[in-house]
Structure 1
Amino acid sequence: MSHTTADLRRKIESAADLHSVVRTMKAMAASSIGQYEQSVLALGDYYRTIELGLGATFRLTGPAEAQADRAPAQPVTGAVVFGSDQGLVGQFNEEVADFAVHTLSSWPGELQIWAVGERVHGRLVEAGLVPTGHFPLPTSVAGIAPLVGRIQLESDAYRARAGESTLYLIHNQPRASSYRPVSRKLLPLDDEWRATLSSQPWPTKLLPEVLGASSHTLRSLIREYLFISMFRACAESLAAENASRLAAMGRAERNIGDLLVELQGDFRRQRQDGIDEELFEVISGYEALKSADHRIP
């Protein structure tokens, strides 16, 4: 299909504008990856502090009291699945949703799912796993803590009513320039993990002392442990989302660049053809006038 030079010029301008938008989105995605990765790193010291507190409390309370803080076993399993609200992320939501479906299908009993992100919510519904709750994703690090607070309130309220005994996190985790879907069990607390924390020595000679009821301290520390785990999962998911968007925008930038080269080549050829045609008409007119002059007596 042939195009005029005016049509090609409009296509080139549109492609150039789109190329500029894609480059801007790449820069924003790269910047977002950095802030979410930094937020995960910043949790390291706090997470270590909570682990030390849990280890000290486990040593004081003993297995029986620690077990008492765990919900009774019930055939109901809860899972929080993190996806995205926005598109242009490749197969990000499809992969984590398919992973969730494959993983959850092997768990016995009733399933209760909380979806974080509009896109992954739609994918889970299509797969027949209708989430109990649905949360929008934050647009910055500052919005992660309020989101995690809402998830904790809703999941705790449901656990209080249904006696739910297990809780999992499912999300995409960054891996170099890519990502992979992972799952992690938060509740009930893993026996081996609890034993490992209990056996860790205190880093100083000043041993800690639990004030008040040790069961209250234990529940508070467990709640902080759940908060940090969800915060980290959300931040890692957002970093992986932006990494996926960065890769998608990179592919789009290359495709638009190739299209621009092709359009500019077509424009130059079209323009040269027009110039050649005009020159041919001028030469033909000159030759016709020259022949007419020779015929004049």
Structure 2
Amino acid sequence: MAQTLERLTRRTATMKSIRGIVRTMKTMSAINAAPYEQAAEAIDAWRETVLDGLHGFLRCNGPIVQAATDRSERVLIVLGSDHGLCGNYNELLAREVAAHPHAATARVICVGAQMEDALGGEGVTPAVTLLPPANVDGLIRLAGQLVTRLDTLRAEAGPGDLAATLIYTQRGAHGLQAPVTQTLLPLDPRMLDDLAQRPWVSRSLPRFSMPAADLLAALVRNLVFATLYRAAAEALVTENAARLARMQQAEQSVDENLEELEGETRSVRQSEITTELLDVIVGFEALKGREKRRRRGDASRRR
């Protein structure tokens, strides 16, 4: 179907506007990812400080005996996205949750309304849905809410312990994203063994004045907070990286469409110019023929 020059011009203008929006989204994704990456690096340093405290506690009190997980109340924490334009981010996480061996019986804490919809598509109904962070300050709010809910659930669990699993998305190789399942509680036994066997390098022995149970609870709570904060920051970095990749693909597609439209516009404009030139030539030839006939008529009358 042939298109007019006016229609092609309107389509080109619309495509250029879309390109401007896509470029803006690319810039925002790149800018937004930086603070979350810095937050992740900062919480890593603080987590190492908490681990040093746990190392000192183990040095003084020996290994920690944790409850068996077969009697535990199970919780799945899923960190999704509510901002969109990042492909199948939530769907990948929802499939990871549905594939978890305890998805049918565990209490699911969902972060993000769109993540809740994706979980519903996999037949998983969250017990509660929280709002995702809108900025770096929101990471503290979200991690604090999750720690408080875990404390409440642990108190309600009774004699059994609490088994919490964290599911989120992190960056993979070659700019890809991949869902990650990480055990949050009970603490990783290998990590605890590692800390217990690690030599104490300082010449000063660790000492503390708090009751051992209270100190251990505070250390575990801070370690869980740091882990949740780190996972939420990494998830947001990955989300912005995924959005940046989608915007790059969209920009390439828009550029290809623009190039096609501009080529078609040049072709239509050339056709119109050619038609106008032919009309001028035909008109000129017609006038020229009429002038010749008029002159012949004048010459005949003079004779």
What TM-score results when the alignment is normalised by the length of structure 1? 0.93
- Distance in 2 between residues matched to 1:40 and 1:108, nearest whole Å: 28
Alpha-carbon distance, 1:212 to partner: 2.2
Q: 1:51 to 1:158 in 2, by over 3 A?
A: same
User: Sequence identity of aligned pairs in percent?
Assistant: 34
Equivalent residue in structure 1 for 2:231, among 226, 229, 233: 233
Alpha-carbon distance, 1:73 to partner: 5.2
Instruction: Indicate the residue corresponding to 1:97 in structure 2.
Output: 94
Instruction: Indicate the residue corresponding to 1:200 in structure 2.
Output: 198
Taking the TM superposition and a 5 Å limit, the aligned residue runs for 1:1-297 are 1-63=1-63, 66-67=64-65, 74=71, 76-102=73-99, 104=100, 106-107=101-102, 110-163=105-158, 165-176=162-173, 177-296=175-294, 297=297
Alpha-carbon distance, 1:72 to partner: 7.5
Q: Deviations over 1:34-90 (max 9, x none)?
A: 221221111222111111111211232334xx337x598535310111110021111
Q: Report the count of equivalent residues.
A: 292
> Which residue identity is paired with 2:96?
F
Q: Which moved more, 1:109-118 or 1:283-292?
A: 109-118
Q: Is the 8 A contact 2:56 2:206 kept in 1?
A: yes
Q: 1:144 to 1:71 in 2, by over 3 A?
A: farther
- Distance in 2 between residues matched to 1:109 and 1:96, nearest whole Å: 16
Q: Is the 8 A contact 1:26 1:246 kept in 2?
A: yes
RMSD over aligned CA atoms reads 1.8
The DSSP-based 3-state class of the residue aligned with 2:170 is: strand
> Which residue identity is paired with 2:264?
D
Q: Which moved more, 1:270-279 or 1:215-224?
A: 270-279
Alpha-carbon distance, 1:109 to partner: 7.3
Q: 1:264 to 1:32 in 2, by over 3 A?
A: same
Q: Is the 8 A contact 1:73 1:165 kept in 2?
A: no
Structure 2 gaps, min length 5: 298-303
> Which residue identity is paired with 1:265?
G
The DSSP-based 3-state class of the residue aligned with 1:130 is: coil
The DSSP-based 3-state class of the residue aligned with 1:294 is: helix
- Distance in 1 between residues matched to 2:147 and 2:189, nearest whole Å: 22
Structure 1 gaps, min length 5: none
Q: Which moved more, 1:165-174 or 1:74-83?
A: 74-83
Q: Deviations over 1:160-181 (max 9, x none)?
A: 2234520010011112422211
- Distance in 1 between residues matched to 2:267 and 2:103, nearest whole Å: 66
Alpha-carbon distance, 1:3 to partner: 2.2
- Distance in 2 between residues matched to 1:200 and 1:29, nearest whole Å: 41
Alpha-carbon distance, 1:4 to partner: 1.7
- Distance in 2 between residues matched to 1:215 and 1:62, nearest whole Å: 13
Alpha-carbon distance, 1:205 to partner: 1.3
- Distance in 1 between residues matched to 2:210 and 2:73, nearest whole Å: 33
Alpha-carbon distance, 1:113 to partner: 0.6
What TM-score results when the alignment is normalised by the length of structure 2? 0.91
Extract structure 1 runs of 4+ deviating beyond 3 A. 70-73
Higher CA-based Rg: 2
The DSSP-based 3-state class of the residue aligned with 2:206 is: coil
The DSSP-based 3-state class of the residue aligned with 2:134 is: coil
Q: Is the 8 A contact 2:50 2:223 kept in 1?
A: yes
Q: Is the 8 A contact 2:60 2:206 kept in 1?
A: no
> Which residue identity is paired with 2:272?
G
Q: Is the 8 A contact 1:173 1:179 kept in 2?
A: yes
